[in-house]
Structure 1
């Protein structure tokens, strides 16, 4: 298979994964019956604005509300106000949006319904520090977590216990109204408590759990943050709390759904597709090495699959930042994969974030071709040095191999596809 043919197939698969999680496809079928009282719409996440638009285009009754999304991810809505804020480190706009959303759900009654549109990214976008904490405190903690190598579940556990709105607190504020959560999952395992740090679901974790995570990764905390966790004043809303008795949660799009859509594209092209997992975690470079080993076993021995085939996976890897490069967990994975493959002639790949942003770059991910290493060396670029410097974006951009989608208006986490052809090593 020629490189341009492989790249075309991989890009179609990535696009199919994104399309499968578009709010216009998955929101309408999960809407509730019109309530006797009011329908209040709130939400947070990279897909929340697109979810709000899908709701407006389907809902014929009265509604009002506010949702907050990432800068650049707003879409026009007529009845639901769209606010933009920062991600992955919160800003004042996110705090103001969280205050408005919290105020909007005060004083509701049992006839009212609160429709919560939640997707990945909401942890940063819906930022309301607990009493005694400042936005600067939250920003310091977020930066420390992002550099630590902690998993998304661990990071969100800490965030829940420093928030006045996450960890079920927003749902409790809606009581006694009915709360219906429509969630697009961007987390391994699809646990609702980890999607946007669970503002509208019960949280079984504790301040002690959060403190253990901080100590595990050696993260330095501002004194006020340490006091919140050590005193237990940051405790969240627990399962069984009466204030959450009328909360219902529906997962309307997941990483598995996206991977299955991509697999369908491959099979239509006559290429067998194998989903290795939708919840793969760990250091991005380590996952890259493991995937390289699997791909070379397939290419060289026809085990556990015969060629041609594509190996699909999703989840959320982590990067422990040691260099000063331009990062991105998907490009870090891909660069490690390239180094481990050593220029294997029969293996191509793509890796990208389905929200269109890998790390803090407006770049979704990158391509890998059999000649990637050779082209880098010809330009005087040392792949191992780039990997050591956490400079995946710099590496692939220099080769013209970045994948840029722009805002996708959805988010079902990382997408990885490794195409193993019949070519010899």
Structure 2
């Protein structure tokens, strides 16, 4: 293997190692277990203390892609005596279901399908039932993580699950932000925007949160099921009207009618019965900073470090590629540099009758590949972007990676990356190049993590 090609492989391996270090730093099982402390007559959850009576119960509920790991970590931390008091139910993707001792993991949607399902409605009804049966001497622990909005569906009376699914598809195809999407979800739900909190009859409710939203706004993560925030039907209506034409799918008349009726009424929020405390224990910054430490251990100079970055996926990929090429010109021969960032981008879907499979991370890397291929010469580099949850769009990949070797294979196969990019068909492009990142469920979710590495001498 030529030296340049061997160096490219080394950089790709390092990029994957750095990325995995970031994901491991937000391992949900470990972080939840670290948050729990017990003593003879009580316990604390991330510093929030609770004293138990002999008959007190602990109810654990929740939803999200990190739910299985969070539930397992909690069971491991409390020990046998406290475990005997626990009942629980957590909605998770089907590929995350596994048997636990006391907490039931309920498959609320298929893997890769980020939409509410009938199974999710059934699971959410059970969660609401459990928390409504508690009393003031009991403790309710809620485990929330990214993906919780789709995994915790409870449509308003008069609105069907299919209505909500149609609304969600329209917004996602139109490129709505997570804030806009969740604002509509809150207005159409019995559980979001504090619905779970208002249904709970325990004396204390503590929420442990893995944030998949820029800035960690508690009312937005999983649509805030334990944040007492009344819905805003007027804002929801405005969002639907703005994206209806872009999404190319009609908004069900029942949804419009329900929101119009709500907007004409004085919406009143019922004060919660129980005391509520929220703790964010995992977020994008934790992952990015852990990746940076890993890069430094491998001998890379940190040239840029950012987290909670928004943007459009293809544009972010072009900017990242341009940044790496600029830094290559500044880096001393033999030196190694690293750019690490995180956040969540959006994708504007093209209208096409052809194949259209991929995700925002694959799209970002594909756009970067277009830019890199146009360069006259490059130093060895590696660039990857992956979802910390192991999912990127409706695919089995977390993201994709490119380096000099991948670029050479693109040329040899006479592939046109721009053609694939123009129709958002990134998955089959990277699949034939063996450049997809596949991890399976990671049991965490703190948005995306991007790694760019450069170093070595220029090659033609």
TM-score after normalising by structure 2: 0.87
When structure 1 is superposed on structure 2, of 136-145 and 372-381 the one drifting more is 372-381
What's the offset of the Cα at 1:376? 1.8
Q: 2:65 aligns with which of 36, 40, 46?
A: 46
What's the offset of the Cα at 1:267? 0.3
2:300–2:337 CA contact under 8 A, matched in 1: yes
Q: 1:177 aligns with which of 175, 178, 203?
A: 203
Unpaired runs of at least 5, structure 1 = none
Cα deviation, 1:361-398, whole Å, max 9, x if unaligned, reads 01111111124333223223210001001011111111
Does 1:74 find its partner at 2:102?
A: no
- Give the whole-Å Cα distance in 2 for the aligned partners of 1:135 and 1:275: 44
- Give the whole-Å Cα distance in 2 for the aligned partners of 1:158 and 1:412: 22
When structure 1 is superposed on structure 2, of 1-10 and 226-235 the one drifting more is 226-235
- Give the whole-Å Cα distance in 2 for the aligned partners of 1:298 and 1:205: 47
The count of residues paired between Structure 1 and Structure 2 equals: 422
Cα deviation, 1:70-102, whole Å, max 9, x if unaligned, reads 010123211111101214011111010001001
2:288–2:305 CA contact under 8 A, matched in 1: no
Equivalent in the alignment of 1:101: 127
- Give the whole-Å Cα distance in 2 for the aligned partners of 1:269 and 1:173: 50
Q: 1:113 aligns with which of 133, 139, 150?
A: 139
1:338–1:372 CA contact under 8 A, matched in 2: no
Equivalent in the alignment of 1:358: 392
Equivalent in the alignment of 1:376: 410
Superposition pairs of residues 256-295 of structure 1, within 5 angstroms: 256-295=285-324
- Give the whole-Å Cα distance in 2 for the aligned partners of 1:204 and 1:189: 21
What's the offset of the Cα at 1:275? 4.9
Superposition pairs of residues 76-91 of structure 1, within 5 angstroms: 76-86=99-109, 87-91=113-117
Equivalent in the alignment of 2:422: 388
Does 1:301 find its partner at 2:330?
A: yes
2:60–2:89 CA contact under 8 A, matched in 1: yes
Equivalent in the alignment of 1:333: 364
Give the secondary-structure state (helix, strand or coil) at the position aligned to 1:65. strand
Unpaired runs of at least 5, structure 2 = 37-43, 45-49
Equivalent in the alignment of 1:4: 9
What's the offset of the Cα at 1:203? 2.6
What's the offset of the Cα at 1:293? 2.2
- Give the whole-Å Cα distance in 1 for the aligned partners of 2:265 and 2:160: 18
What's the offset of the Cα at 1:284? 0.3
Q: Relative to 1, partners in 2 of residues 1:334 and 1:205: Cα closer, same or farther, differing over 3 Å?
A: farther
Q: Which has the larger radius of gyration?
A: 2
What's the offset of the Cα at 1:411? 1.0
Q: Relative to 1, partners in 2 of residues 1:254 and 1:298: Cα closer, same or farther, differing over 3 Å?
A: same
When structure 1 is superposed on structure 2, of 167-176 and 260-269 the one drifting more is 167-176
- For the aligned residues, what is the CA RMSD? 2.3
Equivalent in the alignment of 2:348: 320
Equivalent in the alignment of 1:231: 261
When structure 1 is superposed on structure 2, of 29-38 and 12-21 the one drifting more is 29-38
Cα deviation, 1:146-190, whole Å, max 9, x if unaligned, reads 211111121111111111111111111014531100001111111
Q: Relative to 1, partners in 2 of residues 1:113 and 1:274: Cα closer, same or farther, differing over 3 Å?
A: farther
2:11–2:381 CA contact under 8 A, matched in 1: no
- Give the whole-Å Cα distance in 2 for the aligned partners of 1:307 and 1:238: 61
Give the secondary-structure state (helix, strand or coil) at the position aligned to 1:363. coil
Give the secondary-structure state (helix, strand or coil) at the position aligned to 2:323. helix
Q: Relative to 1, partners in 2 of residues 1:381 and 1:235: Cα closer, same or farther, differing over 3 Å?
A: farther
1:356–1:363 CA contact under 8 A, matched in 2: yes
Q: Relative to 1, partners in 2 of residues 1:275 and 1:67: Cα closer, same or farther, differing over 3 Å?
A: farther
Equivalent in the alignment of 1:311: 339
- Give the whole-Å Cα distance in 1 for the aligned partners of 2:235 and 2:22: 34
1:185–1:251 CA contact under 8 A, matched in 2: yes
1:346–1:423 CA contact under 8 A, matched in 2: yes
Superposition pairs of residues 141-160 of structure 1, within 5 angstroms: 141-160=167-186
Q: Relative to 1, partners in 2 of residues 1:370 and 1:69: Cα closer, same or farther, differing over 3 Å?
A: same
Does 1:18 find its partner at 2:23?
A: yes
Q: 2:222 aligns with which of 196, 205, 223?
A: 196
Give the secondary-structure state (helix, strand or coil) at the position aligned to 2:213. coil
Does 1:221 find its partner at 2:251?
A: yes
What's the offset of the Cα at 1:357? 0.9
4+ runs deviating over 6 angstroms: 233-239
When structure 1 is superposed on structure 2, of 368-377 and 289-298 the one drifting more is 368-377
Does 1:421 find its partner at 2:455?
A: yes
